[in-house]
Structure 1
Amino acid sequence: MIKAVLFDFDGTLLDRDASVKVFINKQYERLHKWLSHIPKETYISRFIELDSRGYVWKDKVYHQLINEFRITGITMEDLLNDYIIEFKHSCVPFEGLTNMLENLKKNHFMLGMITNGKGQFQMDNIIVLGIEHYFQTILISEWENMKKPNSLIFKKALENLNVLPSESIFVGDHPVNDVKAAQQIGMKSIWKKDDQWEDVEADYIIDELSQIPTIILK
């Protein structure tokens, strides 16, 4: 019997691809004084490419942008600080996020979150979506000194919820960091489809967050 549902954040609850596009568009406008010599679409597309869907921290991204586009008058640290401070104002949730969490809460499931990333940065993004109060435990890799797919971070979340792996299910978009990592410690898994991957061997596969309660309440 499933007692707890645990989630990844980026790409699962947060539509990170959409959020990045909103942010980098705003950043270009906000810092236009120093970026105006670069075509807007060029700056946006190169940032997205270098960002590699969040797997490259932005100090490296901005260092590369400054070198490539010969940006002057503003430093890598300035650009990075802008990202850290402003990104949360561009966060876009996936459709049906709050309704899905409300449904699970109404049915008395315990909820947890495990996300890789910078501690306060990720927490700020979670808070701006207004969802932090739904979760009994939130583990962020920087604060835990370990990250997915390390099984220890999954085990710690389950200990915090006081549930067994067999009593829990993990929802994520990454086939290794989320799906396989959860399965390896005995959890069920739900893969939230991502066009980047194919043939992911999860227990369940979904397109929309609204499908999650239906699966768990079977």
Structure 2
Amino acid sequence: MGEPLKAVLFDLDNTLTDRTKSIAKYSEIFLEDFRCQLVEPVTSAWLVDKILTVDQGGYGGHEHRCHLLSELPIWKKTPTPESLLAHWFSHFPHCPVAMEGLYDMLEALKRKGLKLGVITNGKDHVQRAKISALNIESYFDCIVTSGEVGIKKPAAEIFHLAVGKLGLNAEEVVYLGDHPINDYYGAYHAGLKAIWLEGYLPWPSGVVQSSSTIKGLSEIVPLVFKK
């Protein structure tokens, strides 16, 4: 990877968390809480499919997702999009499911003596609740959310802010995320060594393909220390 590495920074959703499995976990709560308002029994698998369709990997927009859910033909009494949005923010942050290999990866990187951190777009209390629910706060030397600092990925400033909190230079830090633009190219243009986690969002046509790609968290340790 070139220069000696001293830290790895991560995206959160669909990088450290498995968003599809997290939505499946949330759907069970949703069906229980709204059971009396449904026309007929709805399966969790059906609901997960509908949520995933409008969620778009977390980039579909919260208000848009809840508006479309309120229009599904499943309601005896249709809840307002606002009530669905409130339900989402009350429960989804506490439903994260760890991405496969998460804990082994964090342990391995810490044993190597690397600093670790998170850069994530989203409301500060929501993103921190997910990290807390996964019980992984202790692994991180910094957590930077767009909601806290008022800067969103792919802006270089949010990457530089996190690197500064670690007391390092950009070229000493690797960043891993699933979004081709917000994560990979955001980090790349900020001077970090960027890695794309493939399989969750399509690579945009007409954009130069990433030079460093993995398909699972188990690949990150050998890639980071590749000579």
- The TM-score, its normalising length taken from structure 1, stands at 0.90
Query: Does the 8 Å CA contact 1:25/1:44 hold for their aligned counterparts?
Result: no
Query: Does the 8 Å CA contact 1:167/1:187 hold for their aligned counterparts?
Result: yes
Map 1:13-52 to 2 at 5 A.
13-37=16-40, 39-40=42-43, 42-52=46-56
Structure 1 gaps, min length 5: none
Map 1:83-102 to 2 at 5 A.
83-102=88-107
Write out the 4+ residue segments of structure 1 that deviate beyond 6 Å after TM superposition. Answer: none
Q: 1:10 is paired with a residue of what secondary structure?
A: coil
Q: CA deviation at 1:200?
A: 6.5
Query: Does the 8 Å CA contact 1:38/1:69 hold for their aligned counterparts?
Result: no
Q: CA deviation at 1:42?
A: 4.8
2-structure distance, mates of 1:214, 1:200: 24
Aligned to 2:212: 204
Query: Does the 8 Å CA contact 1:175/1:200 hold for their aligned counterparts?
Result: no
Query: Does the 8 Å CA contact 2:66/2:81 hold for their aligned counterparts?
Result: yes
Q: 1:185 to 1:58 in 2, by over 3 A?
A: closer
How many residues were matched structurally? 218
Aligned to 1:2: 5
Q: Which amino acid aligns with 2:8?
A: V
Which of 178, 196, 199 lines up with 1:194 in the alignment?
199
Q: Within the alignment, does 1:54 sit opposite 2:80 as a pair?
A: no
Aligned to 1:80: 85
2-structure distance, mates of 1:116, 1:207: 22
Q: CA deviation at 1:91?
A: 1.4
Map 1:159-174 to 2 at 5 A.
159-174=164-179
Aligned to 2:188: 183
Q: 2:217 is paired with a residue of what secondary structure?
A: coil
Q: Which amino acid aligns with 1:131?
A: I
Aligned to 1:66: 70
- The TM-score, its normalising length taken from structure 2, stands at 0.87
Moved more, 55-64 or 194-203: 194-203
Moved more, 2-11 or 31-40: 31-40
Instruction: Indicate the percent of aligned positions where both proteins have the same amino acid.
Output: 34
